[in-house]
């Protein structure tokens, strides 16, 4: 029997499983299998959930002088705050999905996360709001490398005879599809992935690591944040937003604005739209958001100042742009995990 948090997460995923687009069904099937494995791995972890998807805002200060910025504030959305029942320490959780190896504690992925600024940004926000957390937990989920497959003759015959596949009771539609082409349906693929996540390789798919942040590290981040704010003001004043050609194909995919930068499109064409709010990850706050520094915005400015201009100063995005599979999976898992933790929090409060 599924846990209530898992059921809540699957309710988020289920409409996509029923989508007419098979590629979206497969992504939803991956997400459902991962959520089943996640629940098995972490449901009994010793954390009390304090808050889920909490938005924090704060004034921006120069830590060297204590001067408050007249141009910027700072903000962010914290995935989960929790208290370790064994130690009493209060931590924040930040969820990440990746294709990289997370089973090796010395992998380059973990070394990069050791200096990743996102958790530090959140801890600074807590400090500016009068709270002090004891650290952050990177809650990392590896995206599946396995895909839907054709069954062997033996597995096909067994499944058609028993109606069971990897412990999952196949529906009449699943069995009819199997009898027709011998390949896993999205739901049968979910069953195999869940079995891999739960019984075969849980540590391959799910890892958590606590990252302490010393006060000096948070102070250093605050100084960097102030400096980036000053650099943005300088770029505005001078109307200088240089392109960084080294960032055009980050993550093995073209930048959203590559067509404009390369001269194949213009930012004023019908392919683009302007938003009244430039931080889609945050709920609407007063203004357009051009005076708010988030970690994502700071990273974009450091990566490519022209992209920052289009995205955070002008609020321009593509009309009806299709999410890449990796982005769609990450967003769907994040939405499902939000419901997972909200339900887990409610369960803990009622017990």
Which residues span the domain enclosing 302?
223-318
Tokens of 108: 């380059």
Burial category of 335 from C-beta neighbours within 10 Å (exposed 0-12, middle 13-18, buried 19 and up) = middle
Task: Indicate the pairing of strand 135-142 with strand 90-98.
Answer: parallel
Q: Is residue 108 part of a domain?
A: yes
> Same domain, yes or no, for 212 and 329?
yes
Q: Establish if 179 belongs to a structural domain.
A: no
The residues near 290 (Cβ < 8 Å, ≥ 6 apart) are: 278, 312, 313, 315
124 and 273 together in one domain = no
Q: Is the dihedral of CA 295, 56, 115, 330 positive or negative?
A: negative
CA distance 37 to 1: 14
Q: What confidence tens digit (pLDDT) does each residue in 197-246 have?
A: 999 999 999 999 988 888 999 999 999 999 999 999 999 999 999 999 99
Count of domains for the chain: 2
Residue 175 lies in a domain: no
Q: Quick one: 74 and 209 in the same domain? A: yes
- Do 184 and 192 contact (CB within 8 A), yes or no? yes
Does residue 72 sit in the same domain as residue 138?
Answer: yes
24 lies in the same domain as 141: yes
- Cβ atoms of 207 and 98 closer than 8 Å: no
Percent of the chain clearing pLDDT 90 (strictly above): 86
Taking the mean position of all CA atoms in its chain, how far away is CA 20? 25
For residue 192, being part of any structural domain is answered with no
Beta strands 90-98 and 68-84, pairing class: antiparallel
Residues 254 and 118 occupy one common structural domain:
no
> What is the SS3 assignment for 151?
coil
Residues 85 and 209 in one domain: yes
State the alpha helices, DSSP H only, in 96-200. Answer: 108-113, 118-128, 153-162, 172-181, 186-195
Residue matched to tokens 């999205």: 186
In a domain, 236, yes or no: yes
Q: Are 97 and 333 in contact (CB under 8 A)?
A: yes
Q: Which two tokens stand for residue 70?
A: 């007249």
Enumerate residues 6+ apart whose C-beta is below 8 A from 239: none
> And the tokens for 149?
């497959």
Output the six-digit token pair for 33.
Answer: 């299998």
111 with 247, same domain? no
User: Per-residue pLDDT tens for 164-208?
Assistant: 999 999 999 999 999 999 999 999 999 999 999 999 999 999 999
Question: What pLDDT is recorded for position 325?
Answer: 73
8 and 98: one domain? Answer: yes
Instruction: Give, rounded to a whole angstrom, the gap between the first and last alpha carbons of the chain.
Output: 19
Is 33 a member of any domain?
yes
> Is residue 99 located within the same domain as residue 236?
no
Q: Is residue 307 part of a domain?
A: yes
Q: Given its phi and psi angles, is residue 52 left (phi above 0), alpha (psi -120 to 50 degrees) or beta?
A: beta
Give the predicted TM-score (pTM) of the model: 0.91
Alpha-carbon distance 5 to 35, whole Å? 10
Q: Does residue 278 fall inside a structural domain?
A: yes
Weakly modelled stretches of the chain, pLDDT under 70: 320-324
């Amino acid at each position: 029997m599924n846990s209530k948090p898992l059921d809540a997460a699957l309710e988020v995923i289920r409409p996509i499983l029923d989508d007419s687009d098979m590629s979206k069904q497969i992504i939803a099937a991956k997400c459902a299998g991962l959520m089943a494995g996640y629940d098995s791995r972490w449901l009994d972890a010793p954390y009390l959930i304090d808050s889920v998807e909490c938005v924090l805002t704060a004034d921006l200060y120069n830590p060297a002088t204590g001067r408050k910025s007249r141009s910027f504030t700072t903000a962010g959305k914290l995935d989960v705050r929790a208290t370790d029942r064994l130690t009493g320490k209060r931590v924040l959780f930040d969820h990440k999905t990746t294709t990289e190896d997370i089973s090796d504690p010395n992998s380059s992925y973990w070394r990069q996360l050791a200096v990743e600024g996102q958790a530090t940004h959140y801890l600074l926000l807590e400090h500016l709001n009068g709270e002090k957390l004891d650290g952050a937990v990177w809650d990392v989920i590896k995206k599946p490398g396995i895909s839907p497959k054709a069954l062997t003759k033996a597995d096909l015959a067994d499944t058609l005879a028993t109606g069971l596949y990897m412990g999952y009771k196949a529906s009449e539609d699943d069995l009819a599809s199997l009898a027709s082409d011998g390949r896993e349906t999205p739901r049968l693929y979910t069953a195999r992935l869940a079995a891999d996540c739960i019984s075969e390789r849980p540590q391959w798919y799910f890892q958590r690591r606590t990252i302490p942040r010393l006060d000096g590290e948070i102070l250093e981040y605050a100084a960097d944040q102030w400096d980036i704010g000053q650099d943005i003001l300088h770029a505005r004043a001078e109307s200088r937003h240089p392109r960084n050609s080294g960032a055009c194909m980050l993550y093995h995919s073209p930048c959203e604005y590559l067509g404009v930068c390369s001269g194949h499109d213009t930012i004023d064409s019908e392919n683009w739209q302007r938003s009244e709010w430039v931080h889609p990850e945050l709920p609407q706050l007063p203004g357009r958001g051009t005076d708010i520094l988030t970690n994502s915005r700071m990273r974009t400015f450091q990566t490519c100042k022209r992209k920052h201009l289009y995205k955070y100063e002008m609020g321009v995005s593509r009309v009806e742009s299709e999410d890449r599979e990796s982005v769609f999976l990450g967003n769907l898992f994040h939405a499902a995990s939000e419901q997972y933790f909200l339900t887990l929090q409610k369960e803990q409060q009622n017990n």
